[in-house]
Structure 1
Amino acid sequence: MTEFSGSGDPVRSLELLWRVQPAPKRGPKQRLDLDQVIEAAIALAGEVGLAALSMRKVAERLGVGTMSLYTYVPGKPELLDLMLDTAVDPPTPLPDGGWRARLEHLARENWDRFHRHPWLLEVTPLRPVLGPNTIARYEHELSVLEGIGLTDIEMDSALVLVSAHVESSARRALEAKQAEQRSGLTDEEWWNARAPVLERVLEPERYPIASRVGAAAGEAHNAAFAPEHAFVFGLSTVLDGIEFLIQARASDA
């Protein structure tokens, strides 16, 4: 089941994200604060997945009644927006070097975040979560591309391109990991079990290119699919494309 960001009350989500609190209500003092609710929800999502996350389970985790949780956040859609913004890595010092090394550094940070929080891949960004961490991260990433010869639209598009590659690569990597866990077989064991039949039916003379390339890739990666290699190769290729655009723009100037 896919969850959608930005599907709740947009005004209330923004108020909660930026901690713009309404006038306090009369009544007993609240036992928790909003950050505790968010942290509990993130921990639960990491354990049971986003689809199984509910307001009731978060309340049980915190030791409070379900209805009391609604005094902190209107519902799961708004809570999801808060979780997404909280999970964003805060800006960190960039490495020495040019824009390419710095953009690669940022891509690897995002790759690591998906592995720390696999539930992020269960979210479809219906609308952007315009929280403080998300905006700070966007500003930080744009600063890497500032002044290198791209237009403002191209700067945004370059980040979208890199982010899309990181997300799709992380998804494939985590799916491969889940397949191994669910089958109880490593990728090597899975292929070894099928090797005797494949050797009989796959004729190198009939499939010369597939046989040669498949054998080379399998020997190099010891598997049919190498998530880390796919991520690194794809990222390098994407950065090559951005660099080509910058150089072409400079040569036309």
Structure 2
Amino acid sequence: MATEFTGGGDPRRSIELLWGVSGPGRRGPKPSRSAEEVIHAAIALADAEGLPAVSMRRVAEAVGLSPMSLYTYVPSKAELIDLMLDRVWAEIEELDPAVGGWRPRLEFLARQRWALGERHPWMLQVATHRPPLGPNVLAKIDSAFRAVDGVGLTEVEMDLMVSLISDYVRGAVRAAVEAREIEQQTGITDQQWRSNNKEYLEGLVDPERYPTLVRVGAACVAAYADGIDHAKKFEFGLQRVLDGVEAFITGVAARRAAEHSGAA
């Protein structure tokens, strides 16, 4: 469950900070730090300790300011979270115009989102239903729309496809991050956990009652003897999602061709 959400700050100040637009003139001494320093300090803190560690006091300490002084740069944590998200989205590489076909384009963008989530797992603690309306976030959304533009989808269908890929990636990253966190917090691996429970389940799990579970479970235990490869699981799932997208695009094209033929 997300612990924070974007779009919750003052709209005017958020837009000014995201786009580097100067607000009304403010009296007082010249700032000793830049907004970028504050944002990068907050991101570094979140990367190291998680989003709950990002407080105005901790960020102020990281840049050598008093908590009250920090408010002259960012009015609250709500605006700061918007700024943090927009900055890390800048790490997503731009789609090469030379990459042809919707599938390679979506693969590239999905892998970029996966890598971003792996670098900054605290992003999973932020609900982005109302995304930061900053230049980096909007540029990446535009790039995603361009990946499926011109394939015969309506604008609403394009939006649904981009959301589908985004939701899949977020879920895959969450599964990988949670698996690592469980191991870190418990101090035991998945293999050790299975071994610890096996002796207590002996005689309780009847193969005749759970035949498919026992068969699949045994195969998976053997396959994952060295641990689950979450990157491999992500790639498998991504290809299956894209297979579904391909079937949808093909179906849309066939349906519209039939409608056109019938109208002729």
**Quick check: 1:118–1:174 contact (8 Å CA) kept in 2?**
yes
Residue equivalent to 1:188: 191
Gaps of 5+ in 2: 258-264
Distance in 2 between residues matched to 1:11 and 1:217, nearest whole Å: 53
Residue equivalent to 2:206: 203
Matched residue type, 2:94: T
Residue equivalent to 1:48: 49
Shift of 1:195: 2.1
Shift of 1:90: 4.2
**Quick check: 1:7–1:126 contact (8 Å CA) kept in 2?**
no
- TM alignment of 1:120-139, pairs within 5 A: 120-139=123-142
With 182-191 and 212-221 compared, the bigger mean Cα shift is at 212-221
- TM alignment of 1:134-153, pairs within 5 A: 134-153=137-156
Distance in 2 between residues matched to 1:98 and 1:165, nearest whole Å: 20
With 197-206 and 72-81 compared, the bigger mean Cα shift is at 197-206
TM-score calculated relative to the size of structure 1? 0.94
Shift of 1:98: 2.1
Distance in 1 between residues matched to 2:253 and 2:23, nearest whole Å: 51
Residue equivalent to 2:219: 216
With 222-231 and 173-182 compared, the bigger mean Cα shift is at 222-231
With 221-230 and 130-139 compared, the bigger mean Cα shift is at 221-230
| Aligned-residue CA RMSD (Å) | 1.8
Distance in 2 between residues matched to 1:47 and 1:91, nearest whole Å: 23
Shift of 1:27: 2.2
Shift of 1:126: 4.2
Distance in 2 between residues matched to 1:104 and 1:73, nearest whole Å: 36
TM-score calculated relative to the size of structure 2? 0.90
Distance in 1 between residues matched to 2:95 and 2:250, nearest whole Å: 27
With 96-105 and 111-120 compared, the bigger mean Cα shift is at 96-105
Shift of 1:198: 2.6
Residue equivalent to 1:106: 109
Shift of the 13–134 alpha-carbon distance from structure 1 to 2, 3 Å rule, reads same
Shift of 1:14: 0.8
Q: Deviations over 1:88-130 (max 9, x none)?
A: 0344243744211220111111011111111100011241211
Distance in 2 between residues matched to 1:238 and 1:93, nearest whole Å: 20
**Quick check: 2:56–2:67 contact (8 Å CA) kept in 1?**
yes
- Using the aligned pairs only, state the percent identity: 48
Q: How many residues in Structure 1 have an aligned counterpart in Structure 2?
A: 253
Gaps of 5+ in 1: none
Shift of 1:226: 5.2
Distance in 1 between residues matched to 2:203 and 2:145, nearest whole Å: 54
Matched residue type, 1:14: I
> Which of 110, 118, 122 is the matching residue for 1:119?
122
**Quick check: 2:60–2:66 contact (8 Å CA) kept in 1?**
yes
Secondary structure at 1:149's aligned position in 2?
Answer: coil
Residue equivalent to 1:68: 69
